[in-house]
Amino acid sequence: MTAIAPGTLKRTPLHDVHVALGAKIVPFAGYEMPVQYPTGITAEHNAVRTACGMFDVSHMGEVIVRGPDAMRFVSSVTSNDVEALAVGQIQYSTLLRADGTIVDDLLVYRFADHLMLVINASNRDKDLAHLQENIAGFDCTMTDISDSIALLAVQGPQAPAIVASLADVPLDGIKYYWFTEGNVAGVPCIISRTGYTGELGFELYFDAAHAVTVWNAVMTAGAVTPAGLGCRDSLRLEAGMCLYGNELDDRTTPIEAGLNWLVKLAKREPFLGKDVLVRQHQEGTDRKLVGFTIDERAIPRHGHGVVYGGVAIGEVCSGCMSPTLGIPIGTCYVPAAAAVEGTTFEVDIRGRLLPARVVKLPFYKRAGKA
């Protein structure tokens, strides 16, 4: 969690709702956010895996890029191929520096006449500055609309039916990483077939003035459990999804992080860091991100030391006791030669060096189609 001086934290438009529900509020990315509700992190996690949970993620940033060169500009600073997007399609990508390292990971939404970038709250100022530094020469404009937008993530096996019951447009045909526009509970929304949990679900973007209306409508439309940041982290870790500040940072390239599929070296538009990423693609990298488990029931945490061959090689990126699998799981970077399923190393947990084993990511994968 990000430490912020008292009095400087923002609140989402649902802050009072979370307080009324008894949520534990913590500072995160410059906001007061619910980390858990009285039900507890494990119960919230299990609700998303088996039924439906709803997250207030209104702290996320949204940036509109508009103009004749909007796609060329975004393509020039990101690793994926924005120009391959159809209208109504979404792309996961990384925002890059000239040295190929990651400024942020983000979603790119293609509308008929503009793009929307969804960025991490903790990186909002940094991302905006980086985009502004690189926009010269492109015929487009950039507008930060973050403070006027609420974002709810409705996730779990029952989530599609619950959202569909409130929507005035059909949702059955929306594929993973596509979106539509329509009313939910009478409120105009971007209805996005995305999530950060490894489950079915939708993310809803709409005017922040209607946040309580949409929240209450979803909560009463089915067996929906309010879910906080705590289980959001355990869910995304089980699903093998990266978190900026843990698996990703400004010293790491997407290829080191195992995000090769986000790097489109053959795309038409030149982009920041391409030379570095071409070289890494051809020659490999010194280190790679891996998932691991520990046989003992000890929980690896962010920052715990990692030892390979008797040498300290880094730290745990993320770790938890998996609520779904019932075993300790985590991620870390290891030498490329060690990034092989079954390789063993050690994790320093409170002064004890415990054996860990590289396993294939993701730890958990939902049965059935995406």
**Does a cis peptide bond (omega within 30 degrees of 0) precede residue 68?**
no
Q: What CA–CA distance (Å, rounded) separates 279 from 111?
A: 34
* Feature table: binding site: 203
What's the 3-state SS for the chain? CCCCCCCCCEECCCHHHHHHCCCEEEEECCEEEEEECCCCHHHHHHHHHHCCEEEECCCCEEEEEECCCHHHHHHHHECCCHHHCCCCEEEEEEEECCCCCEEEEEEEEECCCEEEEEECHHHHHHHHHHHHHHCCCCCCEEEECHHHEEEEEEECCCHHHHHHHHECCCCCCCCCCEEEEEEECCEEEEEECCCCCCCCEEEEEEEHHHHHHHHHHHHCCCCCEECCHHHHHHHHHHCCCCCECCCECCCCCCCCCCCHHHCCCCCCCCCCCHHHHHHHHHHCCCEEEEEEEECCCCCCCCCCEEEECCEEEEEEEEEEECCCCCCEEEEEEEEHHHCCCCCEEEEEECCEEEEEEEECCCCCCCCCCC
Structure tokens at 321: 């006791």
Q: Return the bridge partners of 225, or none.
A: 53
* Feature table: binding site for substrate: 203
Strand-pair category, 187-192 with 179-184 = antiparallel
